[in-house]
Structure 1
Amino acid sequence: MTLSADEYRDHLETTAVRAGFAFGGVVLPSEHDVSVGKLRFRYLDWGTKGQRPILFLHGGALTAHTWDLCCLALRDEFHCIALDQRGHGDSDWAPDADYSIGAQREDIRGFADRLGLDRFVLVGQSMGAINGLAFAAARPERLSALVMIDAGPEVRRRGSSRIREFVNGGAKPETLEEIIERALAFNPRRDRQILRRSLMHNLRRQPDGSWSWKYDRRRFQPLDHDTHLAERRRLADNLANVTCPVLVVRGAESDVFHQEDAERLAKNFPHGRQIIIEQAGHTVQGDNPKDLVAALREFLG
């Protein structure tokens, strides 16, 4: 990470207070690498092994750190693990640019096997939710519950196009201020000073002093995007395979995942429920982590 341990702890304390959490103390996660197939994956372990495990999967262009406040809030009750998925954060990029749902589904299987997670809860947002759904449909016996945040087989083109424009923007290295301005224009719900520090987990500093994002842009190319959408729609035929309880979460202000799509998705699972998180857009865990944590606690019992 670019932040020092002290800066990271201070950042978590500040963001926790702003989000409405009251923690007795901030415990930092441990960082680990594990090889799955030919790729090396970075993950954050928030401790409390022996508790019910939750695997958190971030959305496209994000990293495991998007779950920091959720994991910090839940770490006393669950064994929280957040993964940098292939092509993101400090995990390897796929040398063949294979970012298919099938490849990422197998990453989840291999990662869970390496960590000895025989049965666990999977929480995913956007891309992470779709990868989690693919895993749940293929290996339903491995999950005790699935939480899908602001994503489903159907996608609204306007909202998804806006996201693609943002992640494909800034192809050339940028100054930190340029990145902050673009990020605030994309999501004005965020606080500038908090955003400045949280972006440190998503950026690499180049030798010339400019900054670049920690994700493989090939993941977001138009041809791959169309293939990805076709894969997503095929998942709709396998919803009945998901036998565990499923919570479908939608950000009330999301332009990516509409309410009728969320309701339809939840109804098509054998054991599905749907909720709305107010004061949140597509990135629910960043916009309103406190209400999301409350919903997770209630759902997971």
Structure 2
Amino acid sequence: MDLIGPVSRSYISQRTKLHYADWGNPEAPPLILLHGGRDHCRSWDWTAKALREDWHVICPDLRGHGDSGWSRTGYYPVMGYVFDLAQLVLLNDLAPVTIVAHSLGGNVALRFTGLYPDKVRKIVAIEGLGPSPERQAERDALGPEAIWGEYFDKKRDAAARQLRRYATFDDALSRMHEANSYLSKEQAVHLTQHAVMRNEDGTFSWKFDPHLHAWPPEDMPYPQIEALWQRIECPTRLIYGNDSWASNPEKDGRIRHFRNATVSAYDNAGHWVHHDRFPDFLKELRAFL
């Protein structure tokens, strides 16, 4: 008998308790679905339900997101997320694993795959390459006083910010729709239900850590990130929405850093292609996997 929904499980990484949703079917090949920034693992429910009969689907909450613990320092470097993903794969003996990831999750998953190319069978990254080369060059041209000054200001703002409180669930739902106008009402309600917590005074707040608004300036140099992409051996699919802010790697040249990658792009879709064009995304995903 099928479970009604996933089982909540947890593991420890970097002294933090992290959560993931396990959709069962452990005898099937493992499939990790990894969400993006300020999102949560239940964002993948439609995809997980569609694939759970053929795959052992695992959907982690990144640290600071969903039902995972927050960093005590409010410090969230990208490579810290990569370590958390490596811990999940190692502790659960998931390799070789297939990964489908969105945005920040895609960035994390591609780096993990470059570090451990033998541990990933196939990977799909939805708008997961980060800033375009043009945007990266603009940022690199800034002086350290501008880069670090902005970061310190955002950290102070995050420390001073009280969790935003929405008087009603519908108020939070309206903000969800504002963030992605392509969502159907059903999608927006589901995503909001799993994205908010109920405060003691009856109001609603987002679950993610406010310090996620402040991205640490330091990271591995961009050529090293490109070198990790070049180490990826498995079939790779990079997916983009034509109405998104993200830069398509076939147009900006980043596709040259991949050995075995193909790109697909969707009209009438923004940053969340897996929500905005779900039936078509699922058809493509099934064929690729």
2:31 and 2:221 mapped to 1: Cα distance? 25
Matched, 1:295 2:284: yes
Q: Where do 5+ consecutive residues of structure 1 fail to align? A: 1-24, 158-163
Counterpart in the other structure of 2:239:
249
* Among 54, 71, 75, the residue aligned to 2:31: 54
Alignment identity in percent? 24
Counterpart in the other structure of 1:5:
none
* Partner SS for 2:8: strand
How far residue 42 of structure 1 moved from its aligned partner, in angstroms, is 1.1
1:231 and 1:209 mapped to 2: Cα distance? 45
1:114 and 1:215 mapped to 2: Cα distance? 25
Shift of the 247–197 alpha-carbon distance from structure 1 to 2, 3 Å rule, reads closer
How far residue 107 of structure 1 moved from its aligned partner, in angstroms, is 0.4
Shift of the 278–78 alpha-carbon distance from structure 1 to 2, 3 Å rule, reads farther
How far residue 259 of structure 1 moved from its aligned partner, in angstroms, is 2.8
How far residue 174 of structure 1 moved from its aligned partner, in angstroms, is 1.6
Counterpart in the other structure of 1:11:
none
Q: Where do 5+ consecutive residues of structure 2 fail to align? A: 136-153
1:246 and 1:70 mapped to 2: Cα distance? 18
Alignment check: 8 A CA contact 2:123 2:235 kept: yes
* Partner SS for 1:291: helix
Counterpart in the other structure of 1:146:
123
Instruction: Specify the code of the residue in structure 1 equivalent to 2:73.
Output: D
* Partner SS for 1:131: helix
1:262 and 1:241 mapped to 2: Cα distance? 21
Alignment check: 8 A CA contact 2:77 2:216 kept: no
Question: 1:180-204, CA deviations, whole angstroms, 9 ceiling, x for partnerless residues?
Answer: 2222222211233542343010001
* Partner SS for 1:31: strand
Q: Under a length normalisation based on structure 1, what TM-score does the superposition of the two structures give?
A: 0.79
How far residue 46 of structure 1 moved from its aligned partner, in angstroms, is 1.2
Question: Which residues in structure 2 correspond to 1:195-206 (within 5 Å)?
Answer: 195-206=188-199
Question: Which residues in structure 2 correspond to 1:60-209 (within 5 Å)?
Answer: 60-155=37-132, 172-175=164-167, 176-209=169-202
How far residue 86 of structure 1 moved from its aligned partner, in angstroms, is 0.4
Counterpart in the other structure of 2:229:
239
* Among 265, 268, 273, the residue aligned to 2:254: 265
2:4 and 2:254 mapped to 1: Cα distance? 36
Question: 1:159-195, CA deviations, whole angstroms, 9 ceiling, x for partnerless residues?
Answer: xxxxx9xxx9995312223322222222211233542
1:119 and 1:95 mapped to 2: Cα distance? 32
1:191 and 1:185 mapped to 2: Cα distance? 12
Q: Under a length normalisation based on structure 2, what TM-score does the superposition of the two structures give?
A: 0.83
Alignment check: 8 A CA contact 2:177 2:183 kept: yes
How far residue 234 of structure 1 moved from its aligned partner, in angstroms, is 4.2
Shift of the 44–227 alpha-carbon distance from structure 1 to 2, 3 Å rule, reads same
Shift of the 48–279 alpha-carbon distance from structure 1 to 2, 3 Å rule, reads farther
Instruction: Specify the code of the residue in structure 2 equivalent to 1:259.
Output: N
Corresponding residue pairs, total = 263
Shift of the 272–227 alpha-carbon distance from structure 1 to 2, 3 Å rule, reads same
How far residue 232 of structure 1 moved from its aligned partner, in angstroms, is 6.1
Moved more, 90-99 or 198-207: 90-99
Alignment check: 8 A CA contact 2:241 2:265 kept: yes
Matched, 1:275 2:264: yes
* Partner SS for 2:253: helix
